[in-house]
Amino acid sequence: MSRAALLLLAACSAPAPAQPTARALPAVPPGQLASPVAFDAIADRAARSRALFGEIAKVLTHPRCVNCHTPDESPRQGDQHVFHDPPVARGAGDRGVPGMQCTGCHQDHNLELARVPGAPGWHLAPVAMVWLDRTPGQICAQIKDPARNGGRTLAQIQDHLARDPLVAWGWSPGADRAPAPGTQAALGLLAQAWIDSGAECPP
Amino acid sequence: MTISIKVNGREHTLGEIDPEMPLLWVLRDLLGLTGTKFGCGEALCGACTVHLDGMAVRSCVTPVERARGREVTTIEGLSADGDHPLQKAWVELGVPQCGYCQAGQIMTAAALLAANPSPSDDDIARSMAGNLCRCGTYVRIRAAIKRAAKGTP
Amino acid sequence: MKLSRRGFLGGVGAAAAGLVLGIHRASGRAVEVPADGELAPNAFVRIGSDGVATIVCARSEMGQGVRSSLHVLVADELGADLAKVQLVQGDGDPRYGNQDTDGSSSVRGDAFTMLRTLGATAREMLVAAAAHRWGVPAAKLVARDSAVHDERRKRSLAFGELVAEAAKLPVPKHVELRPFGELPHAGKDLPVRDAPDQVTGRATYAADVRLPGMLTAVVARPPALLGKAARFDAARARAIPGVRDVVELPAPSAPIQMQALGGVAVVADHTWAALRGRHALAVTWDGGPNAGYDSAAYREQLLVAVRAPGEVVRKVGDAEAALARAARRVEAEYVVPHLAHATMEPPAALARVDGDRCEVWACTQDPQGMQDEIGKALGIDKSHVTVHVTLLGGGFGRKSFPDFAVEAALLAKRAGVPVRVQWTREDDLQHSSYHTHSAQALVAGLDADGNVIAWRHRIAYPSISATFSADATRPSTGELSQGVLDMPLAVPDISVQTGAAAAHARIGWLRSVCNIQQAFAQQSFIAELAHATGRDPRDMLLRVLGPARALTAADQGVAKLPNYGLPLTTYPYDVGRLHHVIERVTDAAGWGTGGRALGLAAHRSFATYVAVVAQVGKGRRGEPRVEEAWIAADAGTVINPERVRSQLEGAFVFAASNTLHGAITYEGGAVVQRNFRDYRLLRMPEAPRAIHVELVASTAPPGGVGEPGVPPVAPAIANAWFALTGTRVRTLPFIT
């Protein structure tokens, strides 16, 4: 829908702020992320903020991300989230146990022939940062909670999402693994826009 | 490119080498250290386990580049003459059958005992879960690790 | 053309043993001619003037302990000090007779007597030499600690001092064997000979052998059996640094038999270059006759086959009439998928060719068969092929096929330098030989009191014979004799029938072979009958097996009982021995004391009786876990109890992997499974916390040891799972 049409729609709507449906936002091809500009159509700041997080959540709930944001001993693998095979254990530092540490097999880059994924500092997110089987609202609350987000400020979170090399892996997973939608740069922009709009969480 | 690595205390200079070449093949094909075995090539079986600065790694997926400036220990270098407590326990309890997986089993167990001299059964299971044995010697492996941990040869 | 090299199918063993005993010092081969002053009455034993006895191990070591045990038996008969014994691994050589290490046949049958005779022959010659020198009767002398002793006169002559004279004596045709119980070492736990080398990385496996100037090759093979390369583009492969050549291997002809599989080889300076080269190869495959093989669809065909009358292979009374008048019927269908051996060591072989001679180092279970096949492939006489047998990192029957060494020989011939062929794990899972894919339908008729009055068993699976002969479409007598023709059944009316099934995969031998599915079905079914009649499963099993007796072909309702190539006179199927291991194992497991989910199964195979009790529970995710296992085995006379116990422990875990996880499936003619992520094996956390083994003390002739521990495991686990959950698993594996 053109920008003019959007403005017309906004002008014709009821005075009370309304939450536009997804139909009001430009359609995003699968595997891509909407840009923050598309959310300007949502006039209400809080509603826009929540919608921005909804877009961010497409990445955070993607298998490439949730497979290492698990609630228990084990990472997951694949788009069906099967338990990591060979069976590995989290260990006290989220980096595996003696004899089976994450970086004992995972390198700082993907391996082509062996198909083992890799990125710098491969390890599990702490249990407090569980995203597997969590709603966007629950993930959002965790991200904002200093007790559960590694004591980070929102700015640090934005930086982590936008620039961390392990996070970057989600978009270049190697082998036949489906990448997270969009790009890390796009995620970084969305995260900034979310913060700027008040960092509201979906219910 | 040229890479120098140290294996079992000896320096080796490898010229004209693909930096992505797995350490396993460097050890076996270039250095003639054939104690480390090839079982799967995808870090699933553990037969290729060596130590990199004391940490157990799977050499079939470790690019040789990663070993630059580090110390590699293979089964041949685990002890002077087979006298590591694990090696002795393995022989005493008749652990090996075909024996092909055992170097990898021992290297993983050695990393475990170095970090945890008194592992529980659960600790052992967690650390050894990545090492396959098709002959099925797991019960004896577990017993040998416990024997070595107790220090009674 | 041999259908099979398995002794039990062709009775090869007896003839081969006689052949060996008939071979004396003279030979056409330079390598085994004894030097002056050495005693070498046969190809296996040579004693030097230094008194050291060199004994040949003519079986392949794959963990079952032949290199820890066989020579000890020989040395004990000889009277040698074990510290003065050297062990040599025998190359492929017909002078050794049967060298095929399969069928659990390294000791059972004639092999036991033959091994002892080897040592006893040399002993008697040494004793005769001493007797002659001292002028006393040989009967007054004893050989012990590598010397001959005259105890009465307190004098001794070391073997080394006697060999020259002994070598001049005629080799005795009949020798007296020592009573087994009096042998100093055999019959007791022996050290694991290769363990010190295995734990230090010094043990040599096929891929460890190195020759100057050697190259390494990996092969891209046709996805479907008997497919071939239609065309390929080697440009990118050749551009990989270290790649020397890209070679198309000859396509095999049907039936596959022992041929190599064909494909395109990348030959390189080292393994990594070869792997990269193969990864860069673009091959278009011509699917061939098996390109349509889909194992899921095939399973349905097998089930159709067993739901219709088949060819009768066992008949007692009139099972149809008995079924018709039965008060109740119990029916079940059992399916076992293809299985892969998945030896930890993928196949590898190093070959060098020099004119019309070829030398090979290989992890082979059948070095003479390998000589034969390489001879054919190279067009040279098989006596010009030397096969050195390395340690095997697992065999289980896969390495009875010589294909990987044929590939090495062909490539070495072309390259003009030694070439090692290295199979990867993907190669191993996708191009192995496979355990057959089977369906079985069992129906029992019960009378009003719950007695089994009728038993009908229909069986369909592609036969191993199909690997060797195009017209084999039904299980062979040999395969059926693995637990079906010889199944004791105290049932008055029995019918066993086979259906037709064509092979679309390379069907081979996998540890205990057709005992796997045939024990699974029958031992599960008997437990189902127990449940149907409200009886304790052990009681039901004993009831169905019937009283202690020696089975006869007539009583069994079969034309003959192949009995693994063993005579029924010396190796009867003694049902009483099966009862005994059932009683021992249930006793050990505390059967009937309540509170645990236990499953029982018992099976005789390769002349050894094994009963297993498995205790199962549920893992954290509700999956079946084997918590503990009890095994009672009667293997007759045992040379090395320690290796027998380890084989039984290992067989349990091996079979548990197959039962819980193992399945090779086909789509579009190709195997689906690639590596250990999709062909799973038991790992340590899933292994039982304890496996208790009781070996029944016995002086009966030795039975086989490597395989008999496998067949009872799958039904024991299934029966235990039923006891735990009330769910009956009839299609393996448990976890897909």
**Could you give phi then psi for residue B127, rounded to 5 degrees?**
-75, -30
Do the strands C419-422 and C438-446 form a parallel or antiparallel pair, or are they unpaired? unpaired
| pTM: predicted TM-score of the whole model, two decimal places | 0.94
pLDDT of residue C28: 27
Mean pLDDT of C246-252: 97
Mean pLDDT of C606-610: 98
Residues of chain A above pLDDT 90, percent: 85
Task: Tell me how far apart the terminal alpha carbons of chain B are, to the nearest angstrom.
Answer: 46
In the numeric block, which tokens belong to residue A40? 């300007």
Mean pLDDT of C682-708: 97
Q: Inform me whether the pLDDT recorded for C361 exceeds 90.
A: yes
A97 to B66: CB separation less than 8 angstroms, yes or no: no
Question: Which residues in chain B have their CB less than 8 angstroms from residue C199's CB?
Answer: 75, 82, 86-87, 90-91, 95-96, 102-103, 106
**Secondary structure element (H or E) that encloses residue C610, with its range:** strand C608-618
C279 to A87: CB separation less than 8 angstroms, yes or no: no
pLDDT of residue A8: 53
pLDDT of residue A124: 98
Mean pLDDT of A92-119: 97
Mean pLDDT of C374-398: 98
Residue A19 lies in a domain: no
Q: What is the pLDDT of residues C426-479, one digit of tens each?
A: 999 999 999 999 999 999 999 999 999 999 999 999 999 999 998 999 999 999
A96 min Cα distance to partner chain B (Å)? 9
- Residue in B43, B112, B130 closest to A116 by CB: B43
Instruction: Answer whether CATH 3.30.365.10 is correct for domain C295-340+433-725.
Output: yes
**Could you give phi then psi for residue B26, rounded to 5 degrees?**
-60, -50
Q: Does A151 touch chain B if contact means CB atoms closer than 8 Å?
A: no
Say how far apart CA C514 and CA C17 lie, in whole Å: 26
Residues B10 and B64 in one domain: yes
- The CA distances from residue C240 to B23, C314, C379, C412, in Å, are 18, 60, 33, 21
Say how far apart CA C330 and CA C445 lie, in whole Å: 7
Residues B11 and B49 in one domain: yes
Residue A126 lies in a domain: yes
Say how far apart CA C561 and CA C222 lie, in whole Å: 40
Residue range(s) defining the domain that contains residue B106? 85-151
Residues B101 and B64 in one domain: no
Q: What is the pLDDT of residues C201-238, one digit of tens each?
A: 999 999 999 999 999 999 999 999 999 999 999 999 99
Mean pLDDT of C385-391: 98
Q: Inform me whether the pLDDT recorded for C631 exceeds 90.
A: yes
In the numeric block, which tokens belong to residue C89? 């691994």
C680 to A85: CB separation less than 8 angstroms, yes or no: yes
B91 to C271: CB separation less than 8 angstroms, yes or no: no
B44 to A103: CB separation less than 8 angstroms, yes or no: no
Say how far apart CA A68 and CA A84 lie, in whole Å: 10
In the numeric block, which tokens belong to residue C562? 């192949």
Mean pLDDT of C590-603: 94
Residue A2 lies in a domain: no
C-contacting chains (≥3 CB pairs under 8 Å): A, B
B96 to C199: CB separation less than 8 angstroms, yes or no: yes
Q: Are C89 and C182 in contact (CB under 8 A)?
A: no
Question: Which residues in chain A have their CB less than 8 angstroms from residue B126's CB?
Answer: 89, 97, 100
In the numeric block, which tokens belong to residue C51? 């008194």
pLDDT of residue C576: 98
The A residues from 107 to 146 touching B (CB cutoff 8 Å) are 107, 111, 113-116
Which CATH number is associated with domain C206-289+347-422?
Answer: 3.30.365.10
Question: Which residues in chain C have their CB less than 8 angstroms from residue A85's CB?
Answer: 676-677, 680
SS3 C652: helix
A-contacting chains (≥3 CB pairs under 8 Å): B, C
pLDDT of residue C30: 30
In the numeric block, which tokens belong to residue C445? 């008729």
Q: State the pLDDT confidence band at C362, using cuts at 50, 70 and 90.
A: very high
The A residues from 41 to 100 touching B (CB cutoff 8 Å) are 85-89, 97-100
C577 min Cα distance to partner chain B (Å)? 27
A89 to B126: CB separation less than 8 angstroms, yes or no: yes
Which residue of B lies nearest to C645 if distances are taken between CA atoms? B94
C275 to A85: CB separation less than 8 angstroms, yes or no: no
The closest alpha carbon to C257, from C60, C406, C62, belongs to C406
A86 to B127: CB separation less than 8 angstroms, yes or no: no
Q: What is the pLDDT of residues A119-164, one digit of tens each?
A: 999 999 999 999 999 999 999 999 999 999 999 999 999 999 999 9
Residues B63 and B93 in one domain: no
pLDDT of residue C34: 67
In the numeric block, which tokens belong to residue C392? 């095997």
Mean pLDDT of C277-293: 97
Question: Which residues in chain A have their CB less than 8 angstroms from residue C677's CB?
Answer: 85
C646 to B103: CB separation less than 8 angstroms, yes or no: no
Kindly report the CATH number assigned to the domain that includes residue B120: 1.10.150.120
Q: What is the pLDDT of residues C156-187, one digit of tens each?
A: 999 999 999 999 999 999 999 999 999 999 99
Report ipTM (2 d.p.): 0.98
Residues B62 and B9 in one domain: yes
Residue A89 lies in a domain: yes
- The CA distances from residue A169 to A117, C8, C438, in Å, are 9, 57, 45
A86 to B43: CB separation less than 8 angstroms, yes or no: yes
Residues B64 and B100 in one domain: no
The closest alpha carbon to A109, from A174, A62, A63, belongs to A174
Q: State the pLDDT confidence band at A3, using cuts at 50, 70 and 90.
A: low
Instruction: Provide the number of structural domains found in chain A.
Output: 1
pLDDT of residue C296: 98
SS3 C477: helix
The C residues from 264 to 293 touching B (CB cutoff 8 Å) are 270-272, 275-276
B94 min Cα distance to partner chain A (Å)? 23
pLDDT of residue C736: 73
Q: Does B30 touch chain C if contact means CB atoms closer than 8 Å?
A: yes
B76 to C651: CB separation less than 8 angstroms, yes or no: no
pLDDT of residue B15: 86
Question: Which residues in chain A have their CB less than 8 angstroms from residue B108's CB?
Answer: 99-100
pLDDT of residue C557: 98
Candidates B81, B135, B142, partner chain C, best to mutate (most C CBs within 10 A): B135
The closest alpha carbon to C673, from C665, C662, C685, C681, belongs to C665
Q: Which residues have CB under 8 Å from C402's CB, separation 6+?
A: C258, C362, C364, C366, C369, C370, C372, C373, C374
CATH: 1.10.10.10, 3.40.50.720, 3.40.1000.10, 3.30.365.10. Which one for C3-199?
A: 3.30.365.10
Q: Which residues have CB under 8 Å from C501's CB, separation 6+?
A: C301, C302, C305, C460, C461, C462, C463, C473, C474
Residues of chain C above pLDDT 70, percent: 95
Q: Inform me whether the pLDDT recorded for C16 exceeds 80.
A: no
Q: What is the DSSP string of B7-42?
A: ETTEEEEE-S--TTSBHHHIIIIIS--TTS--S-SS
What is the CA angle B102-B105-B108, rounded to 5? 150
Q: Which residues have CB under 8 Å from A151's CB, separation 6+?
A: none
C621 to A86: CB separation less than 8 angstroms, yes or no: no
Say how far apart CA C736 and CA C734 lie, in whole Å: 6
pLDDT of residue A27: 81
Burial-class residue A135 by CB neighbours within 10 Å (0-12, 13-18, 19+). middle
- Residue in B60, B112, B115 closest to A114 by CB: B60
The B residues from 109 to 148 touching C (CB cutoff 8 Å) are 121, 124-126, 128-142
Do the strands C348-354 and C419-422 form a parallel or antiparallel pair, or are they unpaired? antiparallel
Burial-class residue C37 by CB neighbours within 10 Å (0-12, 13-18, 19+). middle
Residues B128 and B147 in one domain: yes
Number of Cβ pairs < 8 A linking chain B and chain C: 201
- Residue in B20, B22, B129 closest to A86 by CB: B129
Residue range(s) defining the domain that contains residue A146? 34-196
Residues B41 and B64 in one domain: yes
Q: What is the pLDDT of residues C676-689, one digit of tens each?
A: 999 999 999 999 99
Q: Which residues have CB under 8 Å from B57's CB, separation 6+?
A: A103, A104, A105, B23, B49, B50, B51
Question: Which residues in chain B have their CB less than 8 angstroms from residue A104's CB?
Answer: 55-58
pLDDT of residue B2: 87
Q: Which residues have CB under 8 Å from C577's CB, separation 6+?
A: C604, C609, C634, C696, C700
Question: Which residues in chain B have their CB less than 8 angstroms from residue C207's CB?
Answer: 28, 34, 37-38
Q: State the pLDDT confidence band at C35, using cuts at 50, 70 and 90.
A: confident
Kindly report the CATH number assigned to the domain that includes residue B31: 3.10.20.30
Question: Which residues in chain C have their CB less than 8 angstroms from residue A113's CB?
Answer: 275-276, 279
C685 to A85: CB separation less than 8 angstroms, yes or no: no
Question: Which residues in chain A have their CB less than 8 angstroms from residue C680's CB?
Answer: 85
Q: Inform me whether the pLDDT recorded for A17 exceeds 70.
A: no
The closest alpha carbon to C367, from C349, C379, C393, C352, belongs to C349
C621 to A113: CB separation less than 8 angstroms, yes or no: no
Q: Which residue, of B77, B106, B133, is where some domain finishes?
A: B77
Mean pLDDT of C79-83: 98
Instruction: Provide the number of structural domains found in chain B.
Output: 2
Q: What is the pLDDT of residues C535-563, one digit of tens each?
A: 999 999 999 999 999 999 999 999 999 99
pLDDT of residue A26: 74
The domain locations on chain C are 3-199, 206-289+347-422, 295-340+433-725
Q: Which residues have CB under 8 Å from C729's CB, separation 6+?
A: C718, C721, C722
Instruction: Please tell me what DSSP assigns to residue C234.
Output: -
pLDDT of residue A5: 54
pLDDT of residue C13: 35
In the numeric block, which tokens belong to residue C132? 């002659």
C272 to B21: CB separation less than 8 angstroms, yes or no: yes
Mean pLDDT of A80-92: 96
B140 to C205: CB separation less than 8 angstroms, yes or no: no
A127 min Cα distance to partner chain C (Å)? 18
List the beta bridge partners of residue C325: none
SS3 C584: helix
Mean pLDDT, rounded, of chain A:
91
Q: State the pLDDT confidence band at C33, using cuts at 50, 70 and 90.
A: low
Do the strands C452-460 and C494-498 form a parallel or antiparallel pair, or are they unpaired? parallel
- Residue in B42, B63, B111 closest to A115 by CB: B42
B48 min Cα distance to partner chain A (Å)? 11
pLDDT of residue A4: 55
List the beta bridge partners of residue C666: C671
Residues of chain C above pLDDT 90, percent: 94
Q: Which residue, of B46, B77, B108, is where some domain finishes?
A: B77
C203 min Cα distance to partner chain B (Å)? 7
B87 to C200: CB separation less than 8 angstroms, yes or no: yes
The closest alpha carbon to C175, from C133, C128, C214, belongs to C128
Q: What is the pLDDT of residues C320-356, one digit of tens each?
A: 999 999 999 999 999 999 999 999 999 999 999 999 9
The closest alpha carbon to C403, from C245, C505, C262, belongs to C262
Q: State the pLDDT confidence band at C37, using cuts at 50, 70 and 90.
A: confident
C677 min Cα distance to partner chain A (Å)? 6
Mean pLDDT of C135-155: 97
Q: Which residue, of B49, B77, B105, is where some domain finishes?
A: B77
Q: Does C366 touch chain B if contact means CB atoms closer than 8 Å?
A: no
pLDDT of residue C6: 42
The B residues from 76 to 105 touching C (CB cutoff 8 Å) are 76, 78-79, 81-82, 86-87, 90-91, 94-103
Q: State the pLDDT confidence band at C505, using cuts at 50, 70 and 90.
A: very high
pLDDT of residue B137: 98
Q: Does B63 touch chain C if contact means CB atoms closer than 8 Å?
A: no
Residue ranges for chain B with pLDDT beneath 70: 152-153
List the beta bridge partners of residue A153: none
